[in-house]
Chains A and B, each alone.
Chain A
Amino acid sequence: MSGFDRLAALVAKDLLVELRSREVAYSTLVFALLVLLIFNFAFELRVENLQALAPGVLWVTFIFAAVLALSRLFAAERDRGALEGLLLCPVDRGTIYLAKLISALVLMLAVEAVAVPVFIALFGLNLPLGPLGLVAFLGSLGFASVGTLFSALAAHTRTREGLLPLLLFPISVPVIIATVKATGGVVAGEPWGVTLPWLQLLAGFDVLFAGLSYLVFELAVEE
């Protein structure tokens, strides 16, 4: 098997487990929709204030949902002692990291792909789906790349899920700033010249965070 085949096999395993049980996807999706519902009451979202609030509302929803999904990322391995099995596989730790990152990213994007149309339908704000999809992809990638590493760390702690946001939120502030700014530009229909620098910055953060996490992941799962 080539490195790519191994990666594909690991991702397929995660997605298959998720497709069969639908444990994480359902809970995360319903959670995201509930957060949108609460935002509606909290901010009394109306057409006048919606354009200014939409980026924040969307990303708080996505990030909270992502933390929920990320905290379960290593759950199956941990609960059933399968982490040792995974580590004994003839694949290097970096490949395991990439596989988990892709699984997390697919899950995040799936939830976002349902939540955004619901948001549009509920609040009647017309969002440019193409550019928004690009921002969502880059933002989710940045958040998931550190999230995957910290999920592996948090899986070994006593509070497990409790520690993940404590680690993840402060470190991922640059990603969050760039993503919300870029989303704001897209939602307000600003010219590309305004949004593009934020997208470039975001892409830079993605490369940096994914690279750094890829390098130190080995230390996080070492037994």
Chain B
Amino acid sequence: MGWIRRLEWLDLLGILTGLSLMAGLYFALVYAPTERLQGPVQRIFYFHVPSAWVSYLAFFVVFVASILYLWRRSAFWDRLGRASAEVGLVFTTLTIVTGSIWARPIWGTWWTWDARLTTTLILWFIYLAYLAVRSYIADPNRAARFAAILGIIGFVDVPIIHMSVVWWRTLHPEPVVVRAEGPALEPPMLVALLVGLAAMTLLYVYLLVHRVMVEETRDDLQLIRQRLAE
């Protein structure tokens, strides 16, 4: 993947990400009106929902990369899966933390065993295991293969976990954007949310590309060390 390094587009992407994050802050904290019932604490929604979206996106990328790795057996797909799982785990943590901060004043508790919260927590554990598998296996090919198996099973498991936890109980607010009757958000709020979504997605892509490059360098180093030892 030498072309990634040669091009300047990564710097451009970094600048764009920084700008859009600042725009996201402006839209979330200044532009969007204060919610009538919840007050200013509702503004965390503009960070919470984009983080959750990016986690699901990241784990979907892990799923696709896992399938492609098992099919093609190329190190690139393995690195992509590894990188995306790590970034996804960070955003899942962000989702849970921002959600807790919001839940404390609104629900009166940091945590409840609601369907969405429980699913997210289990998701967090699954991808923690995904990264653990990688670090506990010495042989890199085997580590990649096992992680890919987990990347597939884990993702297929998500809707099943969600369904079973929904049957178990639920309390989380219903979706306000994607629903049959059209968005229930006020237009300025929707704009703030969309800017937040775009900024977080850019941040994800930026971090992902960097993470893949770090993994690539690490693999190269490993190879050089091996050659030197021979």
A interface residue numbers (CB < 8 A to B): 146, 149, 153, 156-159, 162-163, 166-167, 169-171, 173-174, 177-178, 181, 201, 205, 208, 212, 216, 219-220, 222
Contacts and interface: CB of A to CB of B under 8 A. Distances in A.
26 contacts: A156-B142, A157-B137, A162-B136, A163-B129, A163-B132, A166-B132, A167-B133, A169-B125, A170-B122, A170-B129, A170-B154, A171-B126, A171-B153, A171-B157, A173-B164, A173-B165, A174-B157, A177-B164, A177-B167, A181-B168, A205-B160, A212-B153, A216-B153, A219-B145, A220-B146, A222-B145
A170 B138 contact: no
Chief secondary structure at chain B's binding surface: helix
Contacts of A157: 133, 136-137
Interface of B: 70, 122, 125-126, 128-129, 132-133, 136-139, 142, 145-146, 148-150, 152-154, 156-157, 160-161, 163-165, 167-168
B167 A153 contact: no
Most chain A Cβ neighbours within 10 Å, of B156, B157, B165: B157
Contacts of A170: 122, 125-126, 129, 154
B197 to A, nearest CB: 27
Contacts of A222: 145
Given A173-B122, A177-B164, A181-B168, A167 B136 contact: no
Nearest to B138: A158
A212 B136 contact: no
A146 to B, nearest CB: 8
The 5 A-B residue pairs whose C-beta atoms are closest, nearest first, are A170-B125, A174-B164, A157-B136, A170-B126, A166-B129
B133 A153 contact: yes
A70 to B, nearest CB: 15
A158 B136 contact: yes
A120 to B, nearest CB: 27
A212 B167 contact: no
